Structure 1
């Protein structure tokens, strides 16, 4: 019986596990090995790691975590979870089972991009989500915002700080009158004819082809994919969810506690704001919250 099982081995999960390990708790980290940012060659805006490959950051974090004798890491997908008398039982896709008194869910989200050929092949390279993470690397180039949900005009208002911007409504997400005024003030061009194809050899981007046959010069596209929980574990446990601009996320309090006693959540699965630094910070809070709850339940 572990004190805590942490499901998810990226920034949030590793951060939660580290703080639990430093509190000398017996921790199992389950890692499916598919971090959300695996498509990006470099991480940016992460203090002390700017420009490093995310895989290298996570590799070093795992190595540091394993220095603590109370930690175990298993590679595998957690496929089922249920409450038991003294905690929780987590079943892995391999058929193995692990039990713990408490859980931290750092399971992340899965991205669904707009259905345009070529977007997936360029994801993380020339098709991007976060300008704070990747905008500087495409600065001063012709940039596009591909509308994917009602918040897309807000994204388009940000991008001109990195380069000349065109907002593609895709014939669906027309800016409101106030947003149109802000577009004019920020120099954002609007294109209402949908993009139907991306040009150039992936993962690079030379331009886009529109439904009317025109081709426009574009070097990078920003878009916000639809997101969904990577695993059904939180739903299996009955954790409450909230609706975010791109998809549902687990409802938590300031310490990462979910609506289910004994379960915490952190990272992209538990917030509408997705960023490696924020995920790591949320992991700290969830790990400390899970530790302190254990202290209250059974003082050492």
Structure 2
């Protein structure tokens, strides 16, 4: 069977991309490896009607609703490669299965690389976050630490005073210049130049000089990269950003390769459930348009 569309990735963006296609009665295959980026978070925020709901509950409910459409096929598996074919594309899974589709939507998300600080990864999504809009409000205007990964962390350090008393810890990754120091002062962000030894407790930072700074939450900018090599295999343009790499798309989520679309965290610089859902809806509708009109 040749599917109208194969969607690689069945989380929020992937399922959202599938909806306009199955509602147009197109045959859609969704391939999902089962690793949502926000699987470490206990609650999702900022998504209309779902504020405070657990991410897995949102995903499960969406999956049930999507499965009600008869032209949808959903399978578990990791897509490891893709290639052009006469009528579109072939996608190969790590177990050797092959599938063919006329169009391809990449919604596989990204892989986060965090600083090698003892105790940081274990708290990712629980008391260490990347998105103030997703998790800042729940800190109740408490004490917030920004762990530096480089100059890009200035963005967090300047944003977060809107959510609480903020201390910026560059951790030796860079030294703010005079202009940056002035910006921090204007926003009321304090600067701590000590080196981090480890993260303990909920969000306590122990410095190498023995001091312990206690926070209600920590923020860090992860370095991201597409979680699948498929875009590069097909020759899609990849953009280098200060915090990693992402697939380049136009406003309709079309990549540089005709009939290959990309959406969600792999194709935009910000990661949240509402943004992923909107991105996916655009990709699905745009993909359907090419099926109708070429």
Question: TM-score, normalization: structure 1?
Answer: 0.95
Counterpart residue number, 1:155? 156
Secondary structure of 2:39's match?
Answer: helix
Residues 12, 266 of structure 1: 8 Å contact kept:
yes
Report the Cα distance in structure 1 between the residues aligned to 2:86 and 2:236, rounded to whole angstroms. 18
Counterpart residue number, 2:285? 288
Counterpart residue number, 2:217? 220
Secondary structure of 1:216's match?
Answer: strand
Report the Cα distance in structure 1 between the residues aligned to 2:291 and 2:150, rounded to whole angstroms. 41
Report the Cα distance in structure 2 between the residues aligned to 1:232 and 1:149, rounded to whole angstroms. 26
Q: Give, in angstroms, the shift of residue 158 of structure 1.
A: 1.1
Counterpart residue number, 1:192? 193
Counterpart residue number, 1:245? 242
Report the Cα distance in structure 2 between the residues aligned to 1:291 and 1:176, rounded to whole angstroms. 49
Report the Cα distance in structure 2 between the residues aligned to 1:176 and 1:275, rounded to whole angstroms. 31
Counterpart residue number, 2:255? 258
Structure 1 residues 263-272 or 186-195, which shifts more? 186-195
Question: TM-score, normalization: structure 2?
Answer: 0.97
Counterpart residue number, 1:233? 230
Secondary structure of 1:39's match?
Answer: coil
Residues 152, 173 of structure 1: 8 Å contact kept:
no
Listed as ranges, the gaps of 5+ residues in structure 1 are none
Counterpart residue number, 2:22? 21
> What are the Cα deviations for residues 133-185 of structure 1, in whole angstroms up to 9, with x where unaligned?
00011122211000113221121111111111110011122223222112112
Residues 150, 170 of structure 2: 8 Å contact kept:
no
Root mean square deviation of aligned Cα? 1.0
Report the Cα distance in structure 2 between the residues aligned to 1:142 and 1:284, rounded to whole angstroms. 37
Counterpart residue number, 1:208? 205
Counterpart residue number, 1:53? 54
After TM superposition, list the pairs within 5 Å mapping 1:82-101 onto structure 2: 82-101=83-102
Listed as ranges, the gaps of 5+ residues in structure 2 are none
